[in-house]
Amino acid sequence: MIPAVLYALVGMGLFALGLFALIVHTHLLRKILAINVMASGVFLVLVALAARTRGAAPDPVPHAMVITGIVVAVSATALALALMLRVSAETGRAELPEEPLE
Amino acid sequence: MPWLHWGVIAIVLPLAGAMSCFLWPRRAIPLGLVTALGIVACVAGLGWQLVEQGAQRYVVGGWGAPLGIDLYADGLSLLMLMATAAVGLGVSIYSIGYFNREKARYFWPLWMFLWAALNALFLSADIFNLYVTLELLGLAAVALVALAGGAEALTGAMRYLLVSLLGSLFYLLGVALLYHSSGSVDIAILAARVESSPAVWAAVGLISAGLLLKTALFPLHFWLPSTHASAPAPVSALLSALVVKASFYILLRLWLEIFPPTSAVLGQLLALLGAAAVLWGGLQALRQTRLKMLIAYSTVAQLGYLFLAFPLASITGWTGALYMLLSHAVAKTAIFMAVGNILYFGGHDRIADLDRVVQRLPLTVTAFALAGASIMGLPPSGGFIAKWLLLEAAIRSGQWWWGGILILGGLLSAAWVFKVVGYAFTRSRAPHESRAVPVGMEWSALAMSMVAILLGLFASWPLALMEIGLPFGGKGAE
Amino acid sequence: MSWDTGMPLLVLASSLLPGLVIFFLPEERVVTRTTLNLAGATLKLALVGVMIWGVLYGHHYETRLPILPGLDLVLRADPLSILFVALSSILWLVTTVYAIGYLEGSPNRSRFFGFFSLCVTATVGVALAGNLITFLLFYELLTLVTYPLIVHRGTEVARRAGRTYLFYTIAGGTLLLLGTVWLYTLAGSLDFTARGFLSGLDGAHHTALVIIFVLLIGGLGVKAALIPLHGWLPQAMVAPAPVSALLHAVAVVKAGAFGIMRVVYDVYGIQFAATLGVTLPLAIVAAVTIIYGSMRALFQDDLKRRLAFSTVSQVAYIVLGIAIVGPVATIGGLVHLVHQGVMKITLFFCAGNLAETLGIHKVSEMNGVGRRMPWTMAAFTIGTFGMIGAPPLAGFISKWYLGVGALDGGQGWVVFILAGSSLLNAGYFLPILYAAWFKAPPDSWPAERSFGRRETAWALLAPPVVTALLTLAAGLLASAPFSPLQWAHFITTLEYAL
Amino acid sequence: MNTTLSAILLLSVPGYPLLLAFPALRSRSPWPCHIALLPAVILLAVPAAFSVDLPWLLFGSGLAVGERSRWLLAMAVVLWAAAATLLRAPANQPESNHLTTFFLLTLAGSLGAILATDLVGFFTFSTLMGYGFYGLLVNGGEMAAQRAGRVYLALLILADLALFEALLIVAAVTDDLSFGAAHQAVAPSASLNLYLSMVLIGFALKAGIWPLHFWLLPAFRSARPAAALLLGGVPIATGLLGAVRWLPLGEISSPGLGLALQWLGVGAMLHAIVAGRMQGQLKMLPAYAAIFATGLFITALGAGLADSAAGSRYGDLAHLFIVSLGFGLAVLTVGIGWLAARSPDAIAPAKRAGDPAPWFERWPGAAVRWGAQMGSDTLPRLRGSWLAAAGRLWQIRAWQSALDGGERSLQRWAFAITLLLLLGVAVAFIGALS
């Protein structure tokens, strides 16, 4: 029980950390990384919460979810990176303008 | 259980279509069109099945919850599927003329992919499955936005991607918490098990926040105008009509089924934000000088309407909101198509320089005006029926101020619609170059706007379909 | 579907379909367009004739189409709707002829005639509406389809006028919508019923009913141009003359006045409205509008603007007739609905003729025009005398019933309003006649077009002459069967269960 | 004579001149004004009482000729024939064409009024006569004639209003508006006095009875010969006839009103003598004679109103009086015209055209101008200023920058995500609390 809660808290911490990074950093690569950190946090929470009762075998369903989530996260990251390359090729900077282009 | 096949086919068919369009890019258009027609037929078949047999649940592959994937179809999901089919068919026909060969290669697979994601989303019966489909939807939509090329569209797409991922992660965290507290992700099981506890409320908060971000409810609409305005016209139509509605659908579903019944204050909060969206979006729309930006802000306002139903919590109110969603989907598609035509024709979308476009593109302007009538809620149109139902619900529940917001929002939309139509009649100072618009594009815009009008004349059919499985008959009916 | 249920739809379709076809006609297909227009108008007239006969002999023409659970789209021909339908279909035919002449050779005619037909369709829909939601539907449709007609010329002025028009009418429509929904939540029904359907409601709802009445009348008053909601009407006269004629005589302002009739008689019921105490304020608003409109007309030099303010004043007569409780005043209001239409359309036709033939737009340019265009000005003269209420013209009959009805209903002050208004009418119309007939014509007209020996084109001349004759006939033959007056009597016996 | 024929004949007395009033319908006939009189002449020639009911006309109307109206008709025919002869003098000009139209309209009105059997019919014809006569006075005339016409017209409208009110009073008590029925219905009604005063004011204005004779003097001063000849026989005679027909003489006794009328009549006669002496213009003689004669008429009418027995006898006499008045004034006018033609010096020149407008014209003008200032200009100006204020409000930079700034701050990442977090926390908090 104790390790599971710890994992969950760490997962929450990763989520918060990623959120902070997503807000603070302007470079797109950092933002993408931040999103990935957040995702890892969520996965950690999921895995941790799978241990629902002391001693019993962990619930397999969250694990299946995490695997699916990782697949999704990987493809999303791939798309994000491709898009970032295009953006930096087009604008010369790998950053988002603070205000939309007029 | 023959109906299952319809539901599953409605998901598999667009996936297959996407694959085949990707493999044979030269044949993308006919392949895509055939797939589109097939999906429409599937949805019709599913509708017929539901009318005959009532709401249906299907266990894919024979593994039940919690491990297997369940599909569930009732009136609510059927309506969403039908809206998707109608808009999808229209956009498919429209995009034949809109995209050149190079763009069409990418458009069709992505669009079929998007369609598959939408159909799967509306048929999903568990909240994790909803997460997956939501992500698929987001990725496809981002790719479609980027299709326009150019700095504006690419940064728009990038911003959209980040927002979409962020929203999904919030949602997923909420799902994790919900699973932790009740041990299931199946909506029906959750509905029975959920109790009011801090963990559940944290989950509700996370899920709502994530979905509101994706639905672009004021003040979280910051990403929507630039994204919707920079995408190609058919894509803008899809985004405004369907993609933002998908996350609203999830919210609605969860609200009706899972969220603890004591969420009256939350309902008021949502409606407050919705009212702010109606007014803020309306005002910002009125101030825009570019047509697509204007339409995008109008979407912000229209999304606000949907949230006005939450505090009313009556069948009439939910029906009204759903009808608003449906008619807005159709009408906004028509408007984006019309704007796409104008852009295609004149190469720009400055409102003051529309330059007698009413004479040169009469069908397009008609489409714009008819769809605009639906957006502002003039009879006979779907928007009117929706407004009527929402007003009725507001007055019946004694919360007439939400009715006042509806009225004000209608006036603001009328102001921008007629601002545009007025300039369409006048001559601009400098003459502009123009190129001919393919006939199919003009007619599909007109056809979509006619659907928006017909939704007002034949409202009893969609309303009867909504009753299937009594999606609003549960907690919402109190 | 039997004939009786299909009839209202047929009447609508007789202008809707030609309108839709005309939209897609190329600009140069003049003959086809003209034929379609005239055929549609004639067919509608014939159908309306059949319906008049049928209503007299107890046929029940009704079409129902469910739109919401418990709410139908109802088109029904009762005597009141027949009155309005007959008026609009007759005047549509005449105005179509006029518009064909007026717009000869000008651009965008297919668009114009398309919307023109739709405008009449919406008006007929307003007339045939069998419940408030159907009424609302066509009422808003009317707003939409008249807008392109007002901005038809595509000038900046026209765009602004259109904007003002929409600002007023959309806001009005919104009020109407609010009132309708509220009413529905209270009463659970919206079907027009002779003598109203609200009197059975619980007394606790009476305050709400008064507020709803204000909302409904506010919404309808915009189109009926009751002050202070009249601001759009004088601006809307930038539209081409046939449009002004249709707007002022048949379509828009009449839809408002007709709606007030429906609300007072068939939703609230006049007796119940009197119990609620809402009729007297309505009568006062109408009276103020009558005087105010006439006062403003007195100082307009632009002919069409003067006519527009005159409309403001004259349509309020109808409202006044509605607001006075009693069968005689009701007859006055009903019959003025028709009479005002016929007279005002004559005046607008004539104003259009002057503008089109001689380029005259202002009253101060009208010196001696009676010699150059005697037929036009003769029709104009009949129209103005009708407006003043001189016997034996149509306006006299209306004023007569309004006056007698006012005495009958114990509202003696109304008689003085009528007298004052007649005086003001004379004040702003007779100087025009004086200038036209007795002053010497100028050496040259602002922009004269020659039509050979005739004073102007046939298609421009015949309509005002016909409507002037109708003005005369409506007054002279008021007691003959099928006259507007007799039909108004017929309606009144139903509304008051005499 | 069978009824159809008599009906046609009666209808054609006013109807034929009306038809001929359309220029197109008389372009071929050589003497339209004389020909128009033919039906009336035939009617006079057949010595029988005719009547025709026209239930479809207006509110149900009728025409009839009887013993009394026969005399009036005869007088009218003679006067109109004479006037028609005078009218023919100017050659074929557009003015004369117009003049003929107005002449025929007036003729129709005047003959119709004599034959009318009900209040509305009489009202209609006398209104037609009035407006037609206005045209006759003004058409192609000098400034003075135009002013006279203007005054006449204004008073005509006022008179019609008064009579309309009187009609409404009758209609409120009875549906049958023929003279006899109306008299019987109105005599016992509560608004009898209002009715009497409205009728008297209306017809006094129409006939130019002192002290409501504003139009009479300018009209006599400026009218062309044909119109001058008709002044006595047409507007004045029709006005007086109206008073006789409309007042329920013999049905009521109203001593107070009767006495007042008698005093008014005496006053009128005195005024005519004194003012006529002071004026000293020969051309104005018929005008003062008319004032005198109508004064006499009013005196007698007063006597008739005061006592119902006298009233019923007076009714007969009044017709004869009107006939002789019409003839007398016509003869006087023609005679003076003849004198004037012989020795122009005998008639002082009329006042010059540039003279200031008389008081009764200046005051209403001023009132109208005041009304324009107060009533109709202020409201639009108010609205205009309100609109301008609203426009300024919209243009104020604060609004613009608030809208712009608000949107811009919403577009920032940090801000948006903070809001998102807050929203989530708020939802969780609210939910956990409730």
Torsion of CA B464, B466, B468, B469, to 10 degrees: -150
Strand-pair partners of C131: C191
Strands C71-76 and D50-54 come out as: unpaired
- C416 HSE (CA, 13 A, CB side): 5
pLDDT of residue B469: 78
pLDDT of residue C244: 85
pLDDT tier, D372 (very low <50, low <70, confident <90, very high otherwise) = low
pLDDT of residue B169: 92
Query: What does the pLDDT look like over C252-267, one tens digit per residue?
Result: 889 999 999 999 999 9
Q: What are phi and psi of A58, to 5 degrees?
A: -65, 150
Contact: D168, C407; criterion CB under 8 Å: yes
Name the H helices within C24-108: 30-56, 79-102
Q: B55-59, B160-164, B265-269, C64-68: which has the highest mean pLDDT?
A: B160-164
Strand-pair partners of B72: B57
> Nearest to residue D379, comparing CAs of C309, C439, C382?
C309
Query: What does the pLDDT look like over B116-131, one tens digit per residue?
Result: 999 999 998 888 889 9
Q: How far is CA C405 from the centre of its chain?
A: 22
Same domain, C322 and C303: yes
Instruction: Tell me which of C274, C308, C339 is where a domain ends.
Output: C274
Beta-carbon count within 10 A of C473 CB:
17
pLDDT of residue C380: 93
Question: Out of B442-451, D233-242, D335-344, which region has the weakest mean confidence (pLDDT)?
Answer: D335-344
Q: Does A66 touch chain B (CB under 8 A)?
A: no
What is the chain D residue with the closest CA to A26? D413
Kind and range of the H or E run holding D120: helix D119-138
Contact C337, C326 (CB under 8 A): no
Reply yes or no on whether the pLDDT at B62 is more than 80: no
pLDDT tier, D357 (very low <50, low <70, confident <90, very high otherwise) = low
Distance from D407 to chain B by nearest Cα, in Å?
Answer: 8
For residue C192 the two structure tokens come to 């027009």
Reply yes or no on whether the pLDDT at C184 is more than 60: yes
Q: Does B289 touch chain D (CB under 8 A)?
A: no
Q: Does D55 touch chain C (CB under 8 A)?
A: yes
Domain count for chain C, please give it: 2
pLDDT of residue D361: 62
* B208-236: average pLDDT: 89
Q: For chain C, give the mean pLDDT.
A: 88
CA distance B348 to B336: 14
> Nearest to residue C112, comparing CAs of C241, C235, C11?
C241
Same domain, C414 and C469: yes
**What is the DSSP track for C122-162?**
HHHHHHHB-BHHHHHHHHHHHHHHHHHHHTTT--HHHHHHH
Query: What does the pLDDT look like over D253-291, one tens digit per residue?
Result: 778 888 888 888 888 888 888 877 776 666 677 788 888
Same domain, C270 and C284: no
pLDDT tier, C4 (very low <50, low <70, confident <90, very high otherwise) = confident
Contact: D417, A19; criterion CB under 8 Å: yes
Q: For chain D, give the mean pLDDT.
A: 78
Taking CA atoms, B469 is separated from B8, B39, B55, B415, D23, in Å, by: 19, 22, 5, 39, 80
Cβ-based contacts of C162 with chain B (< 8 Å): 418, 422, 425
Going by the DSSP 8-state scheme, the letter that residue A95 receives in this structure is: B
Reply yes or no on whether the pLDDT at B383 is more than 60: yes
pLDDT of residue B44: 92
> Nearest to residue B76, comparing CAs of B272, B256, B230, B231?
B256
Q: What percent of chain C has pLDDT over 90?
A: 25
pLDDT of residue A54: 62
Cβ-based contacts of B403 with chain C (< 8 Å): 178, 181
**What is the DSSP track for D73-112?**
HHHHHHHHHHHHHHHT-S-S-HHHHHHHHHHHHHHHHHHH
Contact: B219, D416; criterion CB under 8 Å: yes
> Nearest to residue C156, comparing CAs of B427, B359, B362, B353?
B427
Distance from C245 to chain B by nearest Cα, in Å?
Answer: 22
Cβ neighbours of residue C140 under 8 Å, at least 6 residues apart? B378, B379, B384, C173
pLDDT of residue D352: 45
Same domain, C226 and C360: no
Query: What does the pLDDT look like over B457-468, one tens digit per residue?
Result: 888 888 888 888
pLDDT of residue D325: 81
Contact: B179, A61; criterion CB under 8 Å: yes
CA distance D242 to D122: 8
Reply yes or no on whether the pLDDT at B296 is more than 70: yes
**What is the DSSP track for B307-320?**
HTHHHH-SHHHHHH
CA distance D147 to C337: 37
**Euclidean distance between the first and final Cα of chain A, in Å?**
54
Q: Model pTM?
A: 0.87
Q: Does C324 touch chain D (CB under 8 A)?
A: no
pLDDT of residue D349: 46
Percentages helix, strand, coil for chain C (3-state, rounded to 5) are 75, 5, 20
Q: For chain A, give the mean pLDDT.
A: 84
Interface test with C, best of D376, D378, D387 (most C CBs within 10 A): D376
pLDDT tier, D351 (very low <50, low <70, confident <90, very high otherwise) = very low
Query: What does the pLDDT look like over A55-83, one tens digit per residue?
Result: 667 777 888 888 989 999 999 999 999 99
Same domain, C483 and C423: yes
> Which of C392, C407, C426 lies closest to D172 in CB terms?
C407
Same domain, C425 and C319: yes
**Euclidean distance between the first and final Cα of chain D, in Å?**
102
Distance from D399 to chain B by nearest Cα, in Å?
Answer: 11
Q: Is B472 helix (H, G, I), strand (E, B) or coil?
A: coil
CA distance B145 to B138: 11
Query: What does the pLDDT look like over D403-418, one tens digit per residue?
Result: 788 877 777 777 777 7
Contact: B395, C156; criterion CB under 8 Å: no
Distance from B334 to chain C by nearest Cα, in Å?
Answer: 18
Contact: D408, A99; criterion CB under 8 Å: yes
pLDDT tier, B476 (very low <50, low <70, confident <90, very high otherwise) = very low
pLDDT of residue C497: 78
Contact: B132, A79; criterion CB under 8 Å: no
Strand-pair partners of C68: C71
Any chains having at least 3 CB pairs less than 8 A from chain C are: B, D
Peptide bond into D211 cis (omega under 30): yes
Query: What does the pLDDT look like over C310-367, one tens digit per residue?
Result: 999 999 999 999 999 888 899 999 999 999 999 999 999 999 999 888 888 888 888 8
Cβ-based contacts of A19 with chain D (< 8 Å): 417, 421
Same domain, C285 and C252: no
Contact D139, D104 (CB under 8 A): no
Interface test with A, best of D407, D409, D413 (most A CBs within 10 A): D413
> Nearest to residue D287, comparing CAs of D231, D341, D243, D338?
D231
pLDDT of residue B139: 93
Reply yes or no on whether the pLDDT at B3 is more than 60: no
pLDDT lower than 70: segments of chain A: 1-2, 52-56, 98-102
Reply yes or no on whether the pLDDT at D78 is more than 90: no
C318: containing domain? 278-498
Q: For chain B, give the mean pLDDT.
A: 87
> Which of B173, B176, B226 lies closest to A100 in CB terms?
B226
CA distance D338 to D329: 14
Contact: C73, B369; criterion CB under 8 Å: no
* C85-102: average pLDDT: 90
Give the CA angle between residues D308, D314, D319 to the nearest 5°.
145
> Which of A22, A23, A100 lies closest to D411 in CB terms?
A100
pLDDT of residue D353: 43
Distance from D280 to chain C by nearest Cα, in Å?
Answer: 32
Delimit the domains of chain B by residue range: 263-478
CATH of A2-91 given 3.30.930.10, 1.10.287.3510, 1.10.287.110, 3.40.50.1950:
1.10.287.3510
Cβ-based contacts of D421 with chain A (< 8 Å): 19
Q: Helix D179-186 crosses helix D237-246 at what angle (to 10 degrees)?
A: 60
pLDDT tier, B335 (very low <50, low <70, confident <90, very high otherwise) = very high
pLDDT of residue B53: 85
Reply yes or no on whether the pLDDT at D293 is more than 80: yes
> Nearest to residue B91, comparing CAs of B358, B334, B368?
B334
pLDDT of residue C259: 93
For residue C62 the two structure tokens come to 């009704």
Q: Does B195 touch chain D (CB under 8 A)?
A: no
Which ipTM score applies to this complex? 0.83
> Which of B385, B391, B418 lies closest to C67 in CB terms?
B385
Q: Does A99 touch chain D (CB under 8 A)?
A: yes
Reply yes or no on whether the pLDDT at B281 is more than 60: yes
Reply yes or no on whether the pLDDT at C54 is more than 60: yes
pLDDT of residue A33: 93
Q: Is C74 helix (H, G, I), strand (E, B) or coil?
A: strand
pLDDT of residue B135: 92
Cβ-based contacts of A21 with chain D (< 8 Å): none
What is the chain A residue with the closest CA to B138? A76
Cβ-based contacts of C388 with chain D (< 8 Å): 157
Same domain, C258 and C309: no
pLDDT tier, B330 (very low <50, low <70, confident <90, very high otherwise) = very high
Query: What does the pLDDT look like over C428-462, one tens digit per residue?
Result: 898 888 888 888 888 888 888 877 777 888 888 89
Burial class (CB in 10 A: 0-12, 13-18, 19+), B343: middle
Same domain, C387 and C262: no
pLDDT of residue C320: 92
